[in-house]
Structure 1
């Protein structure tokens, strides 16, 4: 298998002829499918045993992070950090102004795997929104977080949607699958959306999607931002 990618207009540079690579039509591998592959190779470990070990591993990693520790494995590195501006030496952590963030990076085995990925350039046959950049305009933070009730910007291509259609728009998706649509949109253009983040998104991390029905089409197209963003 190969990492399939196509080219889409890049609106983040000054050159109107620039394009950017967009990963497309690649499969998503779940824990279930990983375990199936493991036991399919003749492993003596049963599916239930493998899932149990993975659950214990994930639980222990979460506990380590909850205790404020960094976690380094050959697959990934997790390092906590504190974001926000402190007014002076005596200032303390204030959830309304500061946030705890988790910085995730590839470990040594994944870093090595990058050089072994086969690439295949393909034509993007089904146009869809491309989300290139998310900016929290209150804190001027890019691709990391958002502030509930404050204005934010998404830049990319094919972003314009029909705001009167509830199926279209900007959607924040929580880890439990709950979806919240941004209702107050200030700017609705193909290359940029300006909008107020819903005030109800007070905690957690979210996936960001833009859903549109393109001109001369009846099918709903979805573009998802590459990074999960945290509520500040």
Structure 2
């Protein structure tokens, strides 16, 4: 199991907290396939049928309010919310039923012996590496107004449902000019047309809600600026 450290921003002191790096998610079908590859005693269809019946019994027990103790996990319940008087009953508008899951005997027996490997924290922010001005064939120096550019980096893709999302050139006074045409818009490369910028120095700014999933956006916009400055003559 791999983990990495991130800065703890909830304290005044400089310290770090750990995050587990999940590299894959395994579903029931994959677990069954792994099991059958080791010992092919029954068919996959039979296993699925038994599991479905098992799940039905668990759900019925939960609906009856039974505590459930299984080798993998234990299931219990709690209710949150305030009851104004002793005569008050459960109101779904102000109260909530929680189904609580805790690790069972099998997990508790092995969790302290799981080998851990510290790794470098994955990149989660947009990284702007360089901007190539196609017109002048230069990198991170010159920018040609109305010309074409190629932006390279990581997590660059411009996507989202908020109007501020976009690729911008930011002047020294903070004025933002949005790029209106993008020929290529991917996570590692963006190709587009430079707006009709006036002479001066500019930084590149990416405002995006993109995630690794095409149809899932961040709630807030992630804003990233280039470390370099390009000049429009």
> Which category describes the TM-score, using the shorter chain as reference length?
0.5 to 0.7
Scaled by the length of structure 2, the TM-score of the pair is 0.56
CA apart distance, 1:99: 0.9
What is the aligned counterpart of 1:14 among 12, 15, 33?
12
Scaled by the length of structure 1, the TM-score of the pair is 0.56
The answer to whether the 8 A contact 1:169-1:210 is kept is no
What is the aligned counterpart of 1:111 among 103, 108, 113?
108
The answer to whether the 8 A contact 1:162-1:212 is kept is no
> Would you say 1:127 and 2:127 are equivalent positions?
no
> In the comparison of the two structures, how many residue pairs are matched?
148
What is the aligned counterpart of 2:54 among 33, 52, 57?
57
Note the 1:1-232 alignment, pairs <5 A.
3-15=1-13, 17-127=14-124, 163-164=162-163, 165=165, 168=209, 213=222, 215-216=224-225
Moved over 4 A (4+): 209-214
Q: Distance in 2 between matches of 1:49 and 1:25?
A: 31
Decide which structure has the larger Cα Rg and report it. 2
The answer to whether the 8 A contact 1:169-1:211 is kept is no
**RCO (CA 8 Å, sep 6+): is it higher in 1 or 2?**
1
Cα deviations across residues 170-227 of structure 1 (Å, max 9, x unaligned)?
Answer: 9xxxxxxx97x8xxxxxxxxxxxxxxxxxxxxxxxxxxx757545158xxxxxxxxxx
